[in-house]
Amino acid sequence: MKKNDIYKYLTLYRDLYGDNIYSNSRMIKNNSIDRTNELHDYLNSIKDCLECPLGKMRKNIVLGMGNPNADIVFVGEAPGKEEDLQGLPFVGRSGKLLDKMLASIKLSRKDVYILNVLKCRPPENRDPSKAEIGKCEPYLKKQLEIIKPKLIVALGRISAMTILRSKESLTNMRNKIFDYEGIDFLVTYHPAALLRNPNFKKYAWEDFKLIRDKYSHV
């Protein structure tokens, strides 16, 4: 790799993720810098989106964070209060729990990519409307197209229903591997649901063990 390429790569990562530069074996692949550049350029192109009323109400747009070359992508529903304040996904109580869940299978945010269906916070954290999903879903699809993960993990019913176009309950969607445009797709509980209902944690652990055993070392 040429010196100028290294400088450009590190500068790009600092712009995206601050001073926490990390290494990963996937990053040395020939297309890793191209993928990082492509994702950076795409996110930069949509960061000022005002396609729906949520754009005018937000403090910060929440586009996603993590490894652009990740094998595993976690998709939530929408930003909450803390996410809107910081411009990063899953940074409140739910985010702390998600970090613990990742650590339980020897993963961290530097190993995966985390994003939401919606990029802006709905008022009072209500469910996303069909119109809002319609505006934001193309952004989600483009991010997935660029990252090319081997597994998508939907965190919660709303994100699962949105991506799969299904009205099934979360209970019925769990314990199954779906296909989403050639990518394996798994549904599990949103960390916020686990905070409200700790009894669900044992089921979420089953899902995370599946992630660990089948996907975390691909």
Render pLDDT for 143-163 as a digit per residue (tens, 0 to 9). Answer: 999 999 999 999 999 999 989
With a cut of 90, say whether residue 15 has pLDDT above it. no
What is the structure's pLDDT at 28?
43
pTM as predicted: 0.84
Please answer whether residues 114 and 65 qualify as being in contact, where contact means their C-beta atoms are separated by less than 8 angstroms.
yes
Q: Mind listing the domains of the chain with CATH numbers?
A: 3-214 (3.40.470.10)
- 114 close to 79: Cβ distance less than 8 angstroms: no
Q: List the beta bridge partners of residue 115.
A: 75
AA letter at 40:
H
pLDDT at 181: 87
Q: What is the mean pLDDT of residues 89-115?
A: 96
First to last CA, the chain: 25
